[in-house]
Chains A and B, each alone.
Chain A
Amino acid sequence: MTARVARAPNLGEELEAIVGHGHATDRPAHLAEVGIRAAASEPATWLVRPGSGAEIAEIVRLANRRHIPVSPVGAAARPPAALGAAEAGILVDLRRMSHVLHLDETSLVVHVQAGLSAHALEHILAPRGLSLGDFPPAILASTVGGMLSVRTPGKSSPRHGFIEEAVLGISAVLGDGRSIHTRVAPRRATGPDLARALCGSEGTLGFITSAVLRIHRRPEARFLSAHHLPDFEAALSAVHLAMREDAAPAALRVYDERQARAGLGDGAVRPGGAVLLAATAGPTDLAACDRDLIASSASALGGTPIAESFAETWWRQRTGREDSPSAALPSLQVSARPSRQAAVHRALRAAAAEAGIEVCVYASRFDPYGAVLFVTLIDPSTGEALGAQAEDAARGAIERAAEQAGAALLGAVPPALTPYFEDMRRRLDPAGIMNPRALASGSE
């Protein structure tokens, strides 16, 4: 699916005619701001900042006429997936489209433009006692459009489900420049959920311009608690037991010994032990009930409560109010459903031991379907994280071991469904201009 790029001397003028003066640029300095390396101005890369869905539709129609790729650039949360080095085409930066279009406090529903960052949305909602929900703060750094168009595990909360499940309606521009607006309903039985075709499609089937999202009242109460467990697997089992008992916590985390020392200090953990951290939220009595369910599950697995201050430390780090001492990015992440988590954890450790290294592990992003294990590879001689090169060398074997034990590596595109997806793409985007490099089979 490649689009032939013609030299387009007056592309800039045409783009400016659509988005207005000053909102289309090909200056390397401007491109660098969105993470694009544009060493030479050849081939032409244009960055545009449209102000409305109608402008995006015009840009896409123009791109169709000229056979030029159009790709979204997100907030600086992560480098744009499609482009590292500059490639000819139009990059669409949605930052100007950052308005709340409608706030329906009766239904707890908000209609926002795709360029608003989720953080900014939280700031708008907070004074009204509202919030998107208990999602991991890390995912709120991206724009609403970015958050919805890339689907990864971990964009979820045990209490509020997956972020894409908060979508009640979507407006988007399809590859031929048509605008669509899925109609809002709490649930419906009128065929497949069409909004969900756009969530996760990374700008290939359509360009999300706004979304109608379910929001929540800020919880009446929030309780934090921390438990020490005999080992990592016992802590995971305590989580599963609590979930079976109907507990719906706001957030959970399980640290192994090394991670607990790094994150919470030496006092939190005994040798070989693990720490379970929990936040529960909701109406006061229910939040307390969930906290107690977690406590009794932990105790059933040999756990004991430890000072609440450990949980407070974790919560401050999680919400960005305190630097996390282990701020280094984990070396690898795998997801596993509950029944495989212990086996995956054992396999990781065994593979690391075989390679002569150690690991530091924590589990987070729990939801009804599983959790993500974050693994940092450690050099036993220094006790520090492996250097980048050594890490790259060791990662493969450990990932394979985890996969064999039932884990899933993040970010794969399911190959069996690729022909169907490619076919839909061709139909909705016959010119092949919509973020053409995204979501190819097996892509990371």
Chain B
Amino acid sequence: MTRPAIDSDRLARALRPIVGDDRISAKETDLTTYSRDMWPRLLISIREGTPLPHRAHLVVWPETVGEVAEIVRVARSQGVPIIPYGGGSGVCGGTVPVKGGIALDLKRMSAVAKIDRDDLICDVQAGANGEHFERELATRGYTFGHFPSSIYVSTVGGWVATRAAGQMSSKYGKVEDRIAGVTMVTGRGDIIDTDGLARSHRGPSWTQLLVGSEGTLGVITSARLRVSPAPELRVLRGYSFPDLIGGIEALRRIMQRGLRPAVLRLYDEFDTLMNALSGGGDRAPADIRHHHAPSPPAGAGALPRVPTQSADVEERSGLLGQIVGQLVPKDRRRGLTQSLRRELVAATLSRPRLFNNVAGPVASRGLRRGCRMIVGLEGSRVRTETEARLTFGELERAGGVDLGEEPGRRWLEHRYSVSYKMSPAFRAGAFVDTMEVASTWERLVDLYRSVRAAIAKHALVMAHLSHAYPEGCSIYFTFAGYADNQKHAEKLYDELWRSGMEAATRAGGTISHHHGVGLLKSLHMREEHRESMAILEALKASMDPDDIMNPGKLGLSAGGLS
């Protein structure tokens, strides 16, 4: 479908009566800010100072669902795309306006409604910031139990739109497991509410058809989310396993026995090694192994203070920071010049196969570090104590060695210590990204080996498993690659992703467990869903007949990689 060129002035004239002058912008800085997200491929251009490939025409900040509906109707009448924008923390290019249009920032819609004690459902508006939402719940004695690493910079709407997963998903589930209904303004401009009380309606679950739609079907304006009473008790532990397979077997046994620890994180050999080298040592002195950790402080919920941006945290954050740390003695690190840093990084990352081998299984055998696991349980006191006892018993039967409470506590403290500045890896000319795939247990080891091998040809790679289910698990690969200029880096990046995605599909896994599709995986949607894409296409055509909602995403129409 060819569209007439977008006339920003005409569009602004039609939108002003809806939102006024203040909540609409065509400023250069706004347009640039809202035409991207945290997709690492874009970060390569940003580092190099090249202009972003696509730009929005206007940014608009609605405040009510009625305004959203009016904006959609205007956009529809003028054939202008709308790109819903939450926190912009997506890592797949989901908010990139490949055909221009309106970046619709939902952050002014952030109300958290009253929770009925018995229902344990909270109606929250889409623009609510994750941290604010969770703190608000904590003051009322609840938790949503969803703690993505991006909680400080993502929104409820973004979570719902991408099927996000938090660090405690093994107990609380992913967002799609915790949602009772959504309110959406569809691409036709109607306001719809999904799923009646206690799901009494017949017909398919509309909620599950809209969750994960990444802005392509309509604008999610609020969601009814299931909350839990804030935990009374939290218990944390570190465990060590001789190898990854042993650890995987332990995860499987725990989940299939019906136990639901909130945190289950198993690191592969390389990731375990990196962690140990960067100071997160394994062994805790026996005297600090309390039977149960103290309760989380009342009212504080499960969130730590906003992470500090100290140089040290930043230095350590990210794989590359760790490698640089290992390559240079600590006292000299600060003085290391940018160019020397670049050279060291280039030297390491240009030989990914060699380093993957040295730092992976070989190092693990040599250093006998094995694989580390962090386990955490929380909830009501009585039940959590029982569940913890059963879980630890299961881990020991599976060959795990108890490392005490300290590794768990350290993880809990540092789990949001990500830097929001450009990471040292990017500054040093490399790129860092993550790939999160999933499969049933039967295929998991195959999936791990084949995706790791596919990435390892191009980049340094490590992995952890942090979202387990009775029937399977996800694997989260972190990788770092390097090329000598932007063009080569992008080529390497695309090639890496293509072989990783193909390997995941071939091994019988899914190409994404929780980051979503965006532009990055749009081209792989046909392999992921094959003939079933017919259903997605019918859904799209019915919800958004004019293809104005976030066009070019989810494999629905030609995407716009530059």
Q: Name the residue of chain B whose CB is nearest to the CB of A341.
A: B118
Interface size for chain A: under 10, 10 to 19, 20 to 34, or 35 or more residues?
Answer: 35 or more
In the complex, whether A174 has a CB less than 8 A from a CB of chain B is yes
> How far is A285 from B465 in the complex, measured between Cα atoms in Å?
28
Sample of 12 A–B contacts (CB below 8 Å): A153-B199, A182-B529, A189-B165, A246-B379, A286-B259, A336-B197, A408-B196, A408-B201, A410-B200, A411-B200, A412-B201, A428-B534
Q: Confirm or deny: A184 has a beta carbon within 8 angstroms of a beta carbon on chain B.
A: yes
Complex Cα spacing A371 to B197, Å: 10
Q: Is the CB of A191 within 8 A of B213?
A: yes
Cα separation A183 to B504 with both chains bound (whole Å): 12
Stretch of B300-308, B312-320, B402-410, B510-518 contacting A (4+ beta carbons < 8 Å):
B510-518
Partner of B199, one of A184, A339, A369: A369
A interface with B by C-beta (< 8 Å):
104, 106-109, 150-153, 162, 164-165, 168, 174, 178-194, 196-202, 205-206, 214, 216-217, 219, 237, 240, 243-247, 282-283, 285-286, 289-290, 292-293, 335-340, 367-372, 406-414, 416-417, 420-421, 423-424, 427-428, 439, 443
Binding site for A on B (CB under 8 A): 116-121, 162-165, 174, 176-177, 180, 186, 190, 192-194, 196-206, 208-214, 216-217, 226, 228-229, 252, 256-259, 379-380, 382-384, 386-387, 389-390, 438-442, 467, 469-474, 508-517, 521, 525, 528-532, 534-539, 541-543, 554-555
A243 to chain B, nearest CB (A): 8
Q: Are A335 and B197 in contact (CB under 8 A)?
A: yes
Cα-based distance from A372 to B200 in the complex (angstroms): 9
Q: With A150-B202, A186-B473 known to touch, is A181 a contact of B532 (CB < 8 Å)?
A: yes
Q: Which residue from chain A places its CB closest to the CB of B194 in the assembled complex?
A: A417
Closest chain B residue to A414, Cβ basis:
B201
**Given B119, B193, B383, which contacts A337 in the complex, CB threshold below 8 Å?**
B119
Contacts of B382 in A (CB 8 A): 245, 289, 292-293
With beta carbons under 8 angstroms apart, the residue of B163, B192, B204, B213 that contacts A201 is: B204
B196 with A424: CB separation less than 8 A: no
Give, as a whole number of angstroms, the nearest-CB distance from A240 to chain B.
Answer: 5
CB–CB B387/A191 < 8 A: no
How many Å lie between the Cα of A199 and that of B165 in the bound state?
24
Contacts of B259 in A (CB 8 A): 283, 286
CB-CB < 8 A to B214: which residues of A?
191
Closest 7 CB pairs of A and B: A370-B198, A186-B472, A408-B200, A185-B510, A423-B542, A107-B440, A338-B118
In chain B, what residue has the closest Cβ to A155?
A: B199
Partner of A193, one of B164, B176, B199: B176
Q: Indicate if the CB atoms of B539 and A197 lie closer than 8 Å.
A: yes
A283 to B539, CA, bound (A): 42
Instruction: Report if A414-B203 is in contact (Cβ < 8 Å); known contacts: A190-B525, A247-B383, A408-B198.
Output: yes
- Whether the pair B535, A428 counts as a contact (CB closer than 8 A) is yes
In the bound complex, residues from chain A placing their C-beta under 8 Å from that of B474 are 186-187
B209 contact from A184, A193, A246, Cβ within 8 A? A193
Q: In the assembled complex, which residues on chain B have CB atoms less than 8 Å from the CB atom of A106?
A: 252, 440-442
Complex CA gap A196/B116 in Å reads 29
Asked if B389 contacts A285 (CB within 8 A), the reply is yes
| Contact, CB under 8 Å: A283 / B208 | no
Q: Which residues of B contact A165 (CB under 8 A)?
A: 177
B residues within 8 A CB of A214? 470-471
Contact B383 A417 (CB under 8 A): no
| Contact assessment for B186 and A107 in the assembled complex, using a CB-CB cutoff below 8 Å | no
The answer to whether B194 and A192 touch across the interface, beta carbons within 8 angstroms, is: no
Contact between chains at B163 and A293 (CB < 8 Å): no
